[in-house]
Structure 1
Amino acid sequence: MPDPPKFYPALSITNVKSLIPITLDTECGLYNSWVTLFMVQARVHNLLHHIIPPTEEKAQAAVAASKAADADLFGRLDVVVLQWIYATVSSDLLQAILVKGDTTSQAWQRLEQVFQDNKGSRATHLEEELAAVKLENFSSTEAYCNHVKSLADRLADMDAPVANSRLVLRLVGGLPSAYSGTVDYVQNQDPLPSFESVRSRIKLAERTMKHHAAQDSTGAALLMSTGGGTSNGFTDGDTNPEM
């Protein structure tokens, strides 16, 4: 009696986006994050060799033996991982890498080329954008900090990583004068705090300023409702009827 077929969880995944919640796009600056999440899933299901063929002799022999033992299953699993790639990239990027009869490793290499080509010119453009970024161009400190981090991640993709100290100084360098206290605090630290620590301090400063602004607004409204702050409880232009 033949052995029952083995169950492979990877074959039952119907919504890979719930596991890799990033849609890769050439403009999003999330290539490193996407790769990290994708490789986690490949490791969980023991399918990393479909993405990056092993170079060690022992690992190569194991992959070859697995393929020889059940070539059909090996091919199905390869297509499953290929589907994961296709499902988690933008439509424009999909058109750029889609090739009939592709294997997972070929599609992976093609994606890598899209994000690694012309690294020098791309890095230069990103450096210029990072140097010019300012909080005033964003709706919140959260959006500002996320954009700065995204630029740093994209520079890392271009083999031009930004050191924490430089990233922190650039982050506070784009803040307006209202954040001068935060800027002075950060710049006087030795060594400089981490990017995440500075991000938290900037967001705290934003919340504090909003709270103070709300209090001032409430106080002004209360003052107006009680007569505009004139003495004896009379508004400007009123006279005491008893006089």
Structure 2
Amino acid sequence: MSSLAHSSSSSSVSSEPLPDAPQPAPAAVVQQVNIRSHVPVLLDFPSANYGQWRVLFESVLGKFGLDDFVRSAPPIAQRTAEWRQIDHIVVNWIYTTINKTVFDIVYRPRVSAFTLWGDVEGLFLNNELHRAIYLEAELRSIVQDDATIDEYCSTLKRLADKLRDIGQPVSEPSQVLNLLRGLNPKYRHIKPVITSKRSPHTFLSARSFLALEELQMQHDDKMETGKELLASHDRQTPTAPLSTSMSHK
């Protein structure tokens, strides 16, 4: 395996030095962090929210320069008192943002952040192919029915994210085609418009296009309902009879 660091004789692609990794924030700063304010998601099995939890947690690690604490474990001789304190804090962060069921499975006494992070990752990514089969089948069976465009698209996106998290990403064109497949029949006139676009729609742009169409259809329905009510009112309002009485002298 070739090294990521190249010598001057072999560095023909770029001579610019790689940016230095951010330095970890001091332990005095890190220990003041309220992790639940940064990671409001509580990791559990029923919610299948590992992807969301990981994105939020990694964002906090990056913000404070602590990525290396879950990526590798330095030799024992290099573990300073400051390093050990921060490592304990990250371990506490992980335990604080998982539910009791997950905690009971991954708990170990005196575990490092690196080891605990790997245990959590392995717990949720085991049997990836088996899970992918069921998630893929569920994704392809979703139909809109009476859901709004936002509700329908959110369900599809959530399943696609789960597949991505276990190493089985759904391509952008496949997401768009699957979105169109399950649409309510009232949107059948929109499908050719989306598929014939010279620059292919992304999932998000197709969702936005459909959301605008949904708003237009809702507006048209209200206008039509208003006309029907007005017409019904006109039919039910009696016409005042013309007076035929004449005054006689």
TM bracket, shorter-chain basis: 0.7 to 0.9
Identity of aligned residues (%): 24
Deviations 1:113-169 (A, max 9, x none): 122111111000011001100111x63221211110111111112211110000110
Partner SS for 2:65: coil
AA aligned opposite 1:185: V
Match of 1:144 in 2: 152
Structure 2-normalised TM-score?
A: 0.78
1:197 aligns with 2:202: no
1:234 to 223, 234, 238: 238
Contact 2:58 2:67 in 1 (8 A): yes
1:48 equivalent in alignment to 2:67: yes
The superposition leaves residues 190-231 of structure 1 with CA deviations (integer Å, 9 ceiling, x where unpaired) of 442111101111211221122222222222223333334xxx
The separation in 2 between residues aligned to 1:127 and 1:199, in whole angstroms, is: 20
**Corresponding position of 1:57:** none
Q: Which runs of 5+ in 2 are unaligned?
A: 1-25, 245-249
Q: Given residue 37 of structure 1, which amino acid in structure 2 is its aligned partner? A: L
Equivalent residue letter for 1:43 = G
2:220 is the alignment partner of 1:212: yes
Of the three residues 41, 53, 64, the one matched with 1:34 is: 53
**1:83 aligned to which of 80, 88, 92:** 92
More helix by share: 1
Deviation at 1:77, TM superposition (A): 1.2
Q: 1:90 corresponds to which letter in structure 2? A: N
- Contact in 2 for aligned 1:115/1:157 (Cα 8 Å): no
**Correspondences of 1:68-107 after superposition (within 5 Å):** 68=80, 71=81, 73-107=82-116
> Cα 1:172–1:42, aligned 2, differ >3 Å: closer, same or farther?
same
Change (3 A) 1:27 1:181: farther
Partner of 1:3: none
Give the whole-Å Cα distance in 1 for the aligned partners of 2:109 and 2:229.
Answer: 68
The answer to which of 104-113 and 84-93 deviates more is 84-93
SS at match of 1:93: helix
Q: CA RMSD in A?
A: 2.5
